Amino acid sequence: MSYLLETLGRGLISRLSDAFREQFAGAHGMDRADLLAAIERAPKSAPLRRALGFALLEDRQPSAAREAFASALRLSPRDILARIGTACALDDLGRTEEAIDELVVAAKLDPEDPMVAFALAYCHERQGGTDEAVRYYRECLRICPQLRNARERLAAIHIVHNRLDEAVEQYEELVVSDPGDVGLHMALAGLYLRCGNANAAVEEYERALTIEPDNWQVRNDLVETLEQAGLFQEAIEKLQEQIASQPPCPDTYLRLGDLYGRLGRDDVALQAYERAVDLHPGFLEAIVKAGTQHLRAGRYEQAASWFGRAIEVNDRLLSAYVGLSIAQHEAGREAEALSSLDLAGSIEPNSTLLYTEMARLYLKCGVEAEARAYLGVGPSEAAPPPEDSFDDLIELQIVRHQQLAEERPNHADIHYRLGLLLRQRGRLEEAIEQFYDAVAINPAYTKALIKLGLALHDNNQTDRAVAVLKQALDLKPEYVDLHYRLGLMFASRQQFELAVEHFERAVAGRPENLDWRENLALALENMGMIDRAKATWHRLCEMAPGTPQARRAADALHRL
């Protein structure tokens, strides 16, 4: 379900002006004071007044920006950029109907501008006019077939209205235009599965799984020979020559980082790993090694951040293997389905181990005094080496998670994270119970469903595991509609903040609703609209009320 729910949030923009970023770029090259001075010297210059409007729009002063654009239009009524700027200012003011009117005029001035068509479609979609939105998105794609946002929003509307074949058409075009995007392949595979085309789903999941850096390794026998001989500096020089003469490859930077690490040059090694991740954001090995470099340097919070990213990459890989297994099962390829399920089970411990390490790191950097007290170490005494205290610190985190689960029994994510810790400690039956609790509270919690299914498989309950994993890939209409509406609202920050404020007043004084913000955050995570790695760290930090880390985490959650 996860990657299909993400399709509902793809292509959303937070401000209408984001759609015109390229057209607005360079529209003014002066600061505000210079612009005002220039306007004073040339009061009848429409371009200068328009430039002032863009500057005010960037400074988030939509009322003043609207006035500046209106001045430009009085001087030059056919100035299409000023007309578009007016629409953006009106949209920032929450006056979307008036913004649509301005965009209609802009479309008449230039019927072949794809971004005007996209903006009209997007405004209609946010207003609930999906038929008009579909018409304008199609017009946008007629003018500019490669416009990704338009295809993503068009597919989202088709999914909401259960026109899955039409959504498939859009994603088939998207994977052609961007074949290296794993998320697109997984979304298309999920749609194929929902349409009953299991064999096509198998092929698409397999494509997603092949988009890994290991499949494009650039080998250099001389580098390997030098490395084996212990001539690390010479090997580095050869790799740098290779980087200078060939297209950049993430595996090359990974090897470079390893060599620098062997020379003890950790800062340079970290830069190489980060470059590998820049080239391929899903490069799990490079992400983990970057986190390990921070860990060695005692930068625990930074290490935890990288490990959080690694969890998300591993979970995506896990979802792909689970999806492949279910697609093979639906296609009647039972032996392959069980093999894929076993592969999913073999990589699942990576996520639980990484979360466990994050939990331990938090105790080291966030609440060291509490950790010392739990270990029986006084403030003036040296704490045991990290490897000696690992088990004790994890037991402390399990206790903390259990206490919080009792305090907030309707908090799905706490049960999920407690399940991860218990699973890592080998307490499988208890972990299964916690995963069951998480999905009972939130049936759309895909990660918990997948972890539950794999835990059941590990517990020799394969038939039940398959049923749960099918549920994880299901797409129930009520969840689709809820997430779709939430995504549109979240993209319109003003509307979202007003809704949150209204709901906070409505639940004031009702303790049973204390977790509503967390449930909201979880729904936004399902759609990929907030950073999951950061959210995981924030939740860990929240578990120690009164600490600076907890206060920062609470602030982050309340900034949703």
**3-class secondary structure for 290-315?**
HHHHHHHCCCHHHHHHHHHHHHHHHH
State how far the Cα of 529 lies from the Cα of 496, in Å rounded to an integer.
Answer: 13
How does 144-172 read in b/e, with b if 16+ C-beta sit within 10 Å? eeebebbbbbbbbbbbbeeebeebbbbbb
State how far the Cα of 290 lies from the Cα of 261, in Å rounded to an integer.
Answer: 11
Q: Return the pLDDT at 533.
A: 62
User: Is the pLDDT confidence value at 101 over 90?
Assistant: yes
Q: Which candidate, 5, 60, 25, 35, places its Cα nearest to that of 494? A: 60
Residue appearing with tokens 């977790």: 515
Instruction: Count how many residues are written for the chain.
Output: 560
pLDDT band of residue 352 (cuts 50, 70, 90) is: confident
Q: Return the pLDDT at 560.
A: 47
Q: Return the pLDDT at 546.
A: 46
H/E stretch holding 191 = helix 182-194
Q: What are the sequence ranges of the domains in the chain?
A: 2-175, 215-330, 479-558
Instruction: Report angle CA 455, 460, 463 to the nearest 5 degrees.
Output: 90
Q: Return the pLDDT at 551.
A: 46
Residue appearing with tokens 């194929």: 192
Q: Return the pLDDT at 530.
A: 63
The 10s digit of each residue's pLDDT in 468-487 is 999 888 877 777 887 888 78
Rg (CA), the chain: 26
User: Is the pLDDT confidence value at 82 over 50?
Assistant: yes
Tell me what percent of the chain is helix, strand and coil, each rounded to the nearest 5: 80, 0, 20
User: Is the pLDDT confidence value at 327 over 90?
Assistant: yes
State how far the Cα of 410 lies from the Cα of 519, in Å rounded to an integer.
Answer: 9
Q: Return the pLDDT at 372.
A: 44
pLDDT band of residue 89 (cuts 50, 70, 90) is: very high
Q: What's the whole-number mean pLDDT along residues 292-316?
A: 87
pLDDT band of residue 359 (cuts 50, 70, 90) is: confident
User: Is the pLDDT confidence value at 55 over 70?
Assistant: yes
Contact 435, 422 (CB under 8 A): no
User: Is the pLDDT confidence value at 341 over 60?
Assistant: yes
Q: Return the pLDDT at 227.
A: 66
Q: Return the pLDDT at 528.
A: 64
Hey, which of 45-54, 163-172, 220-229 has the most confident mean pLDDT?
163-172
User: Is the pLDDT confidence value at 11 over 50?
Assistant: yes
Of 336 and 479, more confident:
336
User: Is the pLDDT confidence value at 287 over 80?
Assistant: yes
Arithmetic mean of pLDDT over the chain:
81
Q: What's the whole-number mean pLDDT along residues 484-499?
A: 67
Q: Return the pLDDT at 213.
A: 53
Q: How far is CA 7 from CA 139, 183, 250, 489, 523, in A?
A: 21, 9, 28, 15, 13
User: Is the pLDDT confidence value at 552 over 90?
Assistant: no
User: Is the pLDDT confidence value at 503 over 60?
Assistant: no
User: Is the pLDDT confidence value at 315 over 80?
Assistant: yes
Q: Return the pLDDT at 26.
A: 60
pLDDT band of residue 142 (cuts 50, 70, 90) is: very high
Of 286 and 504, more confident:
286
| Of 12-26, 273-287, 356-370, minimum mean pLDDT range | 356-370
Q: Return the pLDDT at 380.
A: 45
The distance in angstroms from the start CA to the end CA of the chain is: 23
State how far the Cα of 16 lies from the Cα of 123, in Å rounded to an integer.
Answer: 8
User: Is the pLDDT confidence value at 523 over 80?
Assistant: no
**Which amino acid appears at position 337 of this protein?**
A
Q: Return the pLDDT at 247.
A: 78
| Of 41-50, 68-77, 129-138, minimum mean pLDDT range | 41-50
Q: Return the pLDDT at 525.
A: 67
User: Is the pLDDT confidence value at 553 over 50?
Assistant: no
Q: What's the whole-number mean pLDDT along residues 503-531?
A: 56
Q: What is the largest CA-CA distance in the chain?
A: 81
Q: Return the pLDDT at 220.
A: 58
pLDDT band of residue 544 (cuts 50, 70, 90) is: low
- Domain 215-330 coded CATH 1.10.10.10: no
pLDDT band of residue 415 (cuts 50, 70, 90) is: very high
pLDDT cut 70: percent of the chain above it: 78
Q: How far is CA 328 from the centre of its chain?
A: 27
How does 245-283 read in b/e, with b if 16+ C-beta sit within 10 Å? eeeebbbbbbbbbbbbbeeebbeebbbbbbbbbebbebb
Architecture of the domain delimited by 2-175: Alpha Horseshoe (1.25)
User: Is the pLDDT confidence value at 229 over 80?
Assistant: no
pTM (2 d.p.): 0.80
